[in-house]
Amino acid sequence: MLEQGKVLKSTGKWYNVELEDGSIVKCRIRGKLRLDGLKTTNPIAVGDIVLLNPTIDEEGNRLIEDFEKRVNYIERKSTNLSKQKQILAANIDQAYLLVTVHSPETHLAFIDRFLVSAESFRIPTTLLFNKIDMYSEDDLEYIDALSYMYEQIGYPCHKISATNKENIDFLKQEIAGKQVMISGHSGVGKSTLVNALDPALDLKIGEISKAHKQGQHTTTFAEMHKLSSGGYIIDTPGIRAFGIVDMDKSVISHYFPEMRAMMGNCKFNNCLHLNEPKCAVKAAVEAGTIPESRYLTYLQLMEEDENDIHRKNIYG
């Protein structure tokens, strides 16, 4: 009889899986599962519910025979393999994108791409503007402007300092009992924030960022940590660029909530909001109702060549 477990860590070939009794076992994937219809660099991701064979191999590993249907997942283009993708995490209740305006700078195009991907998989997302204790008044005004823009669209925004436990108390309450993902560029403070939320985890700070800068890892993997307060945090390694995959260009605008609200007013039902006459979306951009930066990201996504695996890295 197969036993159910939850994937906490993946390194490509090997997996740490938590069983229902709380114990953690090391596993590998059944070969056929790894090859069947492989369109991703990792057929199993953290957050997946997997089914394990009860037997143990000669190296002490359990065998992953199958996995349960995912509620959702989030993915990105593989950095080195054409037409393949990497699943970052699965079965996510809530995503948090950590944003910094410098050291490093999180570009608006990166934020928007992340949000589009999350929208396409119906994953609610909150923006956390981190390191506010390091910013000038001009920086803070810029963050206030960004927060206003994204909150008008429907994305909750919070200004935080991961080193100040007082201003993340709301976050502890929000994530209790949930399976949440924290993402962002290397260096934005993900590990610092996770440690602040649960000091017992004691994640190493800066390790992922250092490896990322050295370019040693073209494929990176997330890890899920069980919280002492209940629930799980998925800590994704630093993401440099965010390629949108398997998304029909005729529906990309549906994943921009502010465009989705307007498109019923376009003259043509199949309007792509590019050069069509009487386009309600373009009119809203000109009127300032839809932020120009968001529309520019939309244009980039519409013009992007999905076969170009050597896209210039302009997102961070």
pLDDT tens for each residue of 118-129: 998 899 999 999
- 3-67, which class in CATH? mainly beta
Rounded Cα gap, residues 236 and 191, in angstroms: 9
> What is the pLDDT averaged over residues 161-187?
89
Q: What pLDDT, on a 0 to 100 scale, did the predictor assign at position 297? A: 95
- The answer to whether 92 and 180 have CB atoms below 8 angstroms apart is yes
Residue 105 scores a pLDDT above 70: yes
Give percent helix, percent strand, percent coil of the chain, each to the nearest 5.
30, 25, 45
- The answer to whether 143 and 101 have CB atoms below 8 angstroms apart is yes
Give the ranges where the chain is alpha helix by DSSP (H): 31-35, 108-120, 137-153, 169-175, 190-197, 207-213, 257-260, 280-287, 292-303
What fold is seen in the domain 78-235? Rossmann fold (3.40.50)
Residue 153 scores a pLDDT above 70: yes
pLDDT tens for each residue of 86-99: 788 899 999 999 99
Q: What pLDDT, on a 0 to 100 scale, did the predictor assign at position 313? A: 38
Beta strands (DSSP E) in the chain are 3-10, 14-19, 24-29, 49-56, 62-67, 73-77, 85-90, 94-99, 125-129, 157-159, 179-183, 223-226, 232-235
Of residues 171 and 13, more confidence is placed in 171
Report helix, strand or coil for 108.
Answer: helix
Q: Which residues contact 193 (CB under 8 A, 6 or more apart)?
A: 98, 128, 130, 160, 162, 168, 182
> What is the pLDDT averaged over residues 29-36?
68
User: Could you tell me the pLDDT band of residue 60, with boundaries at 50, 70 and 90?
Assistant: confident
| Phi/psi at 244 (5° precision) | -80, 135
Rounded Cα gap, residues 27 and 14, in angstroms: 6
Q: What pLDDT, on a 0 to 100 scale, did the predictor assign at position 242? A: 58
Q: What pLDDT, on a 0 to 100 scale, did the predictor assign at position 55? A: 87
Mean pLDDT of the chain: 84
> What is the pLDDT averaged over residues 138-142?
96
Burial of 36 (0-12, 13-18, 19+ CB in 10 A): exposed
Residue 79 scores a pLDDT above 70: no
pLDDT tens for each residue of 255-314: 999 999 999 999 999 999 999 999 999 999 999 999 999 999 999 999 876 544 434 433
List the domain boundaries for the chain: 3-67, 78-235, 252-303
Of residues 5 and 13, more confidence is placed in 5
Q: What pLDDT, on a 0 to 100 scale, did the predictor assign at position 90? A: 93
Q: What pLDDT, on a 0 to 100 scale, did the predictor assign at position 271? A: 95
Q: What pLDDT, on a 0 to 100 scale, did the predictor assign at position 277? A: 95
Q: What pLDDT, on a 0 to 100 scale, did the predictor assign at position 312? A: 40
Report helix, strand or coil for 179.
Answer: strand
Q: What pLDDT, on a 0 to 100 scale, did the predictor assign at position 216? A: 35
* Lowest mean pLDDT segment, chosen from 41-55, 90-104, 137-151, 215-229: 215-229
Which of 98, 55, 48 lies closest to 74, judged by CA?
48
* Lowest mean pLDDT segment, chosen from 18-27, 204-213, 227-236: 204-213
What fold is seen in the domain 252-303? Ribonucleotide Reductase Protein R1; domain 1 (1.10.40)
Q: What pLDDT, on a 0 to 100 scale, did the predictor assign at position 208? A: 39
User: Could you tell me the pLDDT band of residue 219, with boundaries at 50, 70 and 90?
Assistant: very low
Q: What pLDDT, on a 0 to 100 scale, did the predictor assign at position 80? A: 57
User: Could you tell me the pLDDT band of residue 50, with boundaries at 50, 70 and 90?
Assistant: very high
Residue 58 scores a pLDDT above 90: no
Residue 213 scores a pLDDT above 80: no
Q: Which long-range contacts (CB under 8 A, 24 or more apart) does 280-286 make?
A: 281/253, 284/258
Rounded Cα gap, residues 281 and 253, in angstroms: 9
Rounded Cα gap, residues 195 and 188, in angstroms: 14
